[in-house]
A and B are shown apart, each in its own frame.
Chain A
Amino acid sequence: MRVYLDHNATTPLHPEVLAAMLPFLTERFGNPSSLHAWGQEARQALEQARTTVARALGSGDKDSVVFTAGGTESDNLALLGAAAAQETRGRHVIVSAVEHHAVLHAAAHLQRHGFAVTRLPVDGQGLLDPDEVRRAIRPDTILVSLLHGNNETGVLFPIDRVGRICRERGVTFHTDAVQSFGKLPLDVGALQVDLLSLSGHKIHGPKGVGALCIRRGTQMQALIHGGTQERSRRAGTENVAAAVGLARATELALLDQEAAAKRLADLRDRLEHGLMSALRGVLRNGHAIERLPHTTNLAFAGAEAESLILALDLSGVGISSGAACSSGSLEPSHVLAAMGLPRERAESSVRFSLGRGTTPEEIARVLEILPPIVERMRRVNAGRAPAEART
C-alpha cells in the first residue's frame, strides 16, 4: 500500500475535473477573444468558470476573478500590482515572517526597489496577534499581505480581524488562501479582504492555474502586458481548459466541504495521537485548534527530517519537510524558525498533509511503519547500533 500524505505540495487531478477539461483541450479549442462561434464557445466556458470561482468566495462579482498561472503568480500580482498602483500614496508593505516564499520574495523584491517592508512576528504556536497589524500600520502603509492557512504548519491567521483593521485604516489587504481555499468556507465580503490568492492543484484541479480575486475598486496594475484579456489585468490568451478545471475542482470541493473537513481533522488527529502514543519525543509544531483540518507538522526528536522522508518514501509513504520549493535548502524552515523553535527541532520536523482520498487504512499503515523507522534512526544517531556484520 502506497500512502500519499503530501497534499499541501500537490493533489491528484479529480477524474471529473479531467472530464470537464478534456473538451477544451480537444474539439472546443477556441480562443475566447475570437468573434466566431469557436471563440464564443470558449468565452462562455471561461466566464462560467469565473462565476463559479467568484461565487465560491462569496462574491457576486464574477469580474473580480483574474485567472493566473497559479498561486505564486497570484501572490506576485497582488503584491507587485498593488504596490505599483499605489506607490504614490506610500511605500510601506506589511507581511508576516511565515508567509509563503511567493509573498516573502515578492516583498523582498519591493524592498530592493525602495519600499519599506515590515515582517510581523508570530508566537511559539505560529499565531499572529491582529493588534500587531494595527500597530504596524503607518500613514504610508499601502498593503498588508497575510497567509490564511500556513502551508507548513496549517496554522490559521485571524484574517477577519485583520480585514476589519485594514478596512478601517484604508489599507489594501491581501490574503494567500492557497491552502485554505476549498477546505474552509471563505467569503471575501465577510472577511473584508481586497485581494485573495488561490490555486487549482491544491484542490485536485490542474497545475498551472490559479486566481487572484480582486475586490472592485482595489487599485491594481498589471504585471503582464499585451492584450486586454482578464480586463487588462493579465494579458495573454486564457488557459480555458485549466480555468474550467479549476472551477470544476472548486465545485467538487464545496460539495461536501464541512463533512470533508471534519473527516480529515479526525484522520489527522488519529495520526497525531497514534504517533505520540507510539513514540516518545514527538512534538506538534503549531497551534492545536487554530489550524487547517488536513495538516500537521511534527518534530521527531533524534531523527533527521531528510532521512525520515527518504526512509518513509522507501516504504511507500510520501511526506515532506515543509514547502516543496524549499526542500533541500540549507536553512531549516523559515516558518519554524520564526516560531522560535530551536534549529535542532526544526531539522527533525516533517509535515503530513492529508487529502480527500486519504483513508483510515492509510493512516493505520503510517502508524505501523513510521514508529520503527524513527526508533531505528534514534538508535543509529545515538551511535548505539553497530554496523550489521557482513555475512
Chain B
Amino acid sequence: MIPRAEADGTIVVAMSGGVDSAVAAALLARQGLPVVGITLRTWSSLRPADLSQQFDSCCSPGAVEDARSVAQALSIPYYVLNYEAEFDREVIQYFTEAYLHGETPNPCVPCNSRLKFGSLFTRARGWGATRVATGHYARVERDPATGRYRLRRAADPRKDQSYFLYTLTQEQLAAALFPVGHLRKEETRRIAAELGLTVADKPDSQEICFVPRDYRAYLRERVGAAIQPGTIRDTAGAVRGQHPGIAFYTVGQRRGLGIASSQPLYVIDLDPTRNEVVVGDEQELWTRELEAERVNLIAIECLSEPQRVLAKVRYAQAPAPAALIPLPGDRVRLCFDEPQRAAAPGQAAVFYDANDPDLVVGGGTILRQCKMSN
C-alpha cells in the first residue's frame, strides 16, 4: 500500500462546517484525489461554561460535528487542529487593534492569508500535502504568457469572495484550490443534496465568526479597558458632543451619534491620536482619491506606471473605474472617475482589471485620508 501522505499532491481542505467547503471536499474526493479534511478549532476547549454562549458559526463546536459527518460521508481523513492561540493572535487581536485605532477591520483577510493559506499551508507541507483547498467563491488560474498565478472573481457574482483573498502571494495561489469557484451557489447546494450531505440546507454564514451579537459589545468585553470616551467634533472643528470610544464607530456611520442636528450627521473620520470622532454631512463622505498601503499585486509583478482599473473599497460594492497610480514603497493611489462613499481606513481596496473585470490586479489596505475637496 502506498501511504496516503506520500502520494503525490495530497490536498488539505479547510472545512468550516458549511456547505461550500463540504462540496469543495466532495468535488475533489469524487475525482479520486487524496483529500484530508481539516477544521481549525478557534475557540477554547477548556472552558465548558463558554459553550452556553457559543453560537453556530463557522468553526464552532457544532460546525466541527457537521464537518466531521461530511468527512465521514466522503470517507476522507479528517482532523481538528487547535488554532485557538493563533486565531487569537492573527485575527482577533488584529480586529480589536484596528477598531482601537479608528479603523474598520476585515478579519477574513488575515484568516485566509495567515491561517488557511499561511500556517495551515506550512503544516500541510509537513504532512506531505502540496495544496490547500477552501470553499471560497473565487477562481485561480495560471497566466500562460507570464506563468503568474491569477485570481479571478467567482462565476457567481453574488457570492464572489475574491475581495477577501487579495493578499495571497504567488506561492499561496500556486497551492490554492477553490473547487466551488466555478459554481453558482444553487449548484453547490444541489451537489451537496445529491451527495446526501447533511449541510446541504445549512444557511449561509453572515456574521463575523467570532463576534456573537454586535461587535461593540464584543469590543467592550475584550478590550474595554483600552476604550476611552472623547470628543465629537465636526469638520469645521466645533465640538458637537461626547463619544464613549472611537472603537465603537465606523466611517460612514449615521446612527448612534446622539447629536441633535437639523441635517443628518455622519462619521467622516476617526482620529486615534486625539481620540476624536469627526462628523459632517453626507457630502463629506465622498472621496475621489485615496491611498492604500501594504499592497499585494497578483496579476502583475509590479506597477511601474498608472493603470486603469475597476476598484472597490468594501465587499458589498460594485467595482468603480479608477486610475491606479504607483507610489513609493508598497503604496498606491487610487483616483476614481466618480467620488466614492465612505472609504473606511483599514478596509481593503481591491483592484480589478479594467479590460478583464473578473481579474484581480491586487489590493491594499485603505489609509486614513487627507480629505479632498470634490
Question: Interface digits, A320-364 against B, CB 8 Å rule (1 contact, 0 not)?
Answer: 000000001110000000000000000000000000000000000
Cβ-defined contact, B128 with A385, below 8 A: no
A376 at the interface (CB under 8 A from B): yes
Cβ-defined contact, A315 with B4, below 8 A: yes
- Alpha-carbon distance A376/B128, docked complex (angstroms): 8
Cβ-defined contact, A310 with B127, below 8 A: yes
Question: Interface digits, B54-95 against A, CB 8 Å rule (1 contact, 0 not)?
Answer: 000000000000000000000001011110110000000000
Q: Which residue of A lies closest to B45 (CB)?
A: A328
Cβ-defined contact, A313 with B41, below 8 A: no
Interface size counted on chain B using CB atoms at 8 A: 32
Q: Which residue of B lies closest to A2 (CB)?
A: B1
Question: Interface digits, A369-382 against B, CB 8 Å rule (1 contact, 0 not)?
Answer: 10001001100110
- Alpha-carbon distance A1/B79, docked complex (angstroms): 21
Stretch of B118-126, B212-220, B222-230, B297-305 with 4 or more beta carbons under 8 angstroms from chain A: B118-126
Choose among B4, B80, B81, B174 the residue that contacts A387 (Cβ–Cβ < 8 A). B174
Question: Interface digits, A287-324 against B, CB 8 Å rule (1 contact, 0 not)?
Answer: 00000000000000001101100110111100000000
Cβ-defined contact, B174 with A328, below 8 A: no
- Alpha-carbon distance A315/B5, docked complex (angstroms): 6
Tell whether A314 pairs with B5 under 8 Å between CB atoms, given A376-B128, A377-B126: yes
A36 at the interface (CB under 8 A from B): no
- Alpha-carbon distance A306/B124, docked complex (angstroms): 11
Residues of A within 8 A of B127 (CB): 307, 310-311, 314
B180 at the interface (CB under 8 A from A): no
Choose among A313, A329, A373, A386 the residue that contacts B45 (Cβ–Cβ < 8 A). A329
Cβ-defined contact, A310 with B46, below 8 A: no
B48 at the interface (CB under 8 A from A): no
A389 at the interface (CB under 8 A from B): yes
B3 at the interface (CB under 8 A from A): yes
Tell whether A307 pairs with B123 under 8 Å between CB atoms, given A313-B77, A315-B5: yes
Question: Interface digits, B167-190 against A, CB 8 Å rule (1 contact, 0 not)?
Answer: 000011011000000000000000
- Alpha-carbon distance A369/B149, docked complex (angstroms): 34
Interface centre among B3, B79, B81, B85 (most CB of A within 10 A): B3
Task: Write the nearest CB–CB distance from B41 to chain A, whole angstroms.
Answer: 7
Q: Which residue of B lies closest to A330 (CB)?
A: B84
Cβ-defined contact, B81 with A314, below 8 A: no
Cβ-defined contact, B45 with A307, below 8 A: no
Cβ-defined contact, A311 with B128, below 8 A: yes
Task: Write the nearest CB–CB distance from B45 to chain A, whole angstroms.
Answer: 6
Choose among A306, A311, A369, A380 the residue that contacts B81 (Cβ–Cβ < 8 A). A306
A390 at the interface (CB under 8 A from B): yes
Tell whether A376 pairs with B45 under 8 Å between CB atoms, given A314-B36, A369-B3, A389-B174: no
- Alpha-carbon distance A328/B80, docked complex (angstroms): 8
Task: Write the nearest CB–CB distance from A372 to chain B, whole angstroms.
Answer: 8
Task: Write the nearest CB–CB distance from B44 to chain A, whole angstroms.
Answer: 7
Interface centre among B10, B85, B123 (most CB of A within 10 A): B123
Residues of A within 8 A of B174 (CB): 387, 389-390
Cβ-defined contact, A330 with B4, below 8 A: no
- Alpha-carbon distance A94/B143, docked complex (angstroms): 68
- Alpha-carbon distance A386/B172, docked complex (angstroms): 10
Q: Which residue of A lies closest to B84 (CB)?
A: A330
Cβ-defined contact, A380 with B122, below 8 A: yes
Tell whether A329 pairs with B5 under 8 Å between CB atoms, given A307-B123, A313-B77, A387-B174: no
Choose among B6, B44, B142, B172 the residue that contacts A330 (Cβ–Cβ < 8 A). B44
Q: Which residue of A lies closest to B171 (CB)?
A: A387
Choose among A1, A311, A390 the residue that contacts B149 (Cβ–Cβ < 8 A). A390
Cβ-defined contact, B82 with A306, below 8 A: yes
A388 at the interface (CB under 8 A from B): yes
- Alpha-carbon distance A153/B4, docked complex (angstroms): 30
Interface size counted on chain A using CB atoms at 8 A: 26
Residues of A within 8 A of B85 (CB): 330
Residues of A within 8 A of B142 (CB): 390
Interface centre among B41, B85, B125 (most CB of A within 10 A): B125
B130 at the interface (CB under 8 A from A): yes
- Alpha-carbon distance A158/B85, docked complex (angstroms): 38
Question: Interface digits, A1-18 against B, CB 8 Å rule (1 contact, 0 not)?
Answer: 100000000000000000
Task: Write the nearest CB–CB distance from A35 to chain B, whole angstroms.
Answer: 44
Residues of A within 8 A of B1 (CB): 1, 316
Choose among A316, A328, A381, A388 the residue that contacts B41 (Cβ–Cβ < 8 A). A328
Task: Write the nearest CB–CB distance from A265 to chain B, whole angstroms.
Answer: 28
Cβ-defined contact, A314 with B41, below 8 A: no
Residues of A within 8 A of B10 (CB): 314
Residues of A within 8 A of B121 (CB): 387
- Alpha-carbon distance A306/B36, docked complex (angstroms): 15
- Alpha-carbon distance A120/B347, docked complex (angstroms): 53
- Alpha-carbon distance A149/B85, docked complex (angstroms): 32
Cβ-defined contact, A386 with B171, below 8 A: yes
Task: Write the nearest CB–CB distance from B95 to chain A, whole angstroms.
Answer: 20
Task: Write the nearest CB–CB distance from A187 to chain B, whole angstroms.
Answer: 39
Q: Which residue of B lies closest to A388 (CB)?
A: B130
Cβ-defined contact, B82 with A329, below 8 A: yes
Task: Write the nearest CB–CB distance from B39 to chain A, whole angstroms.
Answer: 12
Residues of B within 8 A of A303 (CB): 126
Q: Which residue of A lies closest to B172 (CB)?
A: A387
Cβ-defined contact, A330 with B82, below 8 A: yes
Cβ-defined contact, B4 with A390, below 8 A: no
Task: Write the nearest CB–CB distance from B84 to chain A, whole angstroms.
Answer: 6
Could you pull out 22 A-B pairs where Cβ atoms are within 8 angstroms?
A: A1-B1, A306-B82, A313-B79, A314-B4, A315-B3, A316-B1, A328-B41, A328-B45, A329-B82, A330-B44, A330-B46, A330-B85, A369-B3, A373-B126, A373-B128, A377-B126, A380-B122, A385-B125, A387-B175, A390-B142, A390-B149, A390-B175
Contacts A373-B128, A387-B171 supplied; 5 other A-B pairs, CB < 8 Å: A310-B127, A314-B10, A377-B126, A390-B174, A390-B175
Report the 3 A-B pairs with minimum CB-CB distance, sorted nearest first. Answer: A314-B5, A377-B126, A315-B3
Q: Which residues of A does B touch, CB under 8 Å?
A: 1, 303-304, 306-307, 310-311, 313-316, 328-330, 369, 373, 376-377, 380-381, 385-390
Q: Which residues of B does A touch, CB under 8 Å?
A: 1, 3-6, 10, 36, 41, 44-46, 77, 79-82, 84-85, 121-123, 125-128, 130, 142, 149, 171-172, 174-175
